[in-house]
Amino acid sequence: MGDLSTTTAVVLAGGLGTRLHSVVSDCPKGLAQVGGRPFLTFLLDQLDAAGVRRAVLCTGYLGEQVKETFGDKYRGLHLLYSQEHSPLGTGGALRLAVPVLASDPVLVLNGDSYCEADLAALPDWRREHRAKATLLLTHVPDTQRYGRVTIDEQGAVLAFEEKGTVVGPGWINAGIYVLSHRLLLTIPGTGTVSLEREVFPAWIGHGLFGCPGDGRFLDIGTPESYGAAEEFFTSGRGSPA
């Protein structure tokens, strides 16, 4: 198992949360309450348990609330912040944070999803497959809501299918990545850029791999899935829709 104590983790917590506005309107999506605590605490707990000691929170809309909530320390994690002043998308936010990313590679987590995973094993998997970028994948009964990822026998990513285009079981992006600095620097430094829609498809054939996992997955992006979040964390059984 790998040692993550010198690895910088990044949590992409700058989303507007437009689809959640009907149930969470006065705070960033990552501060939405789940079981009486902010959703981001579950991600930070996961990083802390994996041995990560330095995390950068990429914030945007109402980002000052995130900094006020967590300050510069959470359990064993030293926290830093990269605040976007206009929406940059997941790719743009990550590119903005590059100057404060002190390790190569970096571990990146989407701030609005959670996947059970052995985070410390991901860098080892990446090295074994000589990947420049590794996406954790998880298998779901129906990929229509999330979009599908196709990989070959070695794990190299072959294609991404857009949300709503393919129905049925398959692999999806679980929102956890191990990425090299060299690839991060290829992300455009201006404008709004999406990792999922623009950056990752452009990296196909350039060292982008998908690591199949079997952990339960939760995305709080809709009122329905957000409503199922508390049961997800308390029951430990099944996966919400």
Q: Tell me the catalytic residues.
A: 163
CB atoms under 10 Å from CB of 184, counted, come to 21
Contact 80, 56 (CB under 8 A): yes
Residue 22 backbone phi and psi in degrees, to 5: -70, -20
Q: Mind giving me the DSSP string for 156-188? A: BEEEEE-TTS--SSEEEEEEEEEE-HHHHTTS-
Contact 159, 150 (CB under 8 A): yes
Write down the H helix ranges in the chain: 39-49, 63-70, 89-97, 122-128, 181-184, 200-203, 223-227, 229-235
Cβ-Cβ contacts under 8 Å for 139 (sequence gap 6 or more):
169, 170, 171, 172, 212, 214
Per the listing, tokens 């976007």 go with 84
CB atoms under 10 Å from CB of 239, counted, come to 16
d(CA 114, CA 176): 9
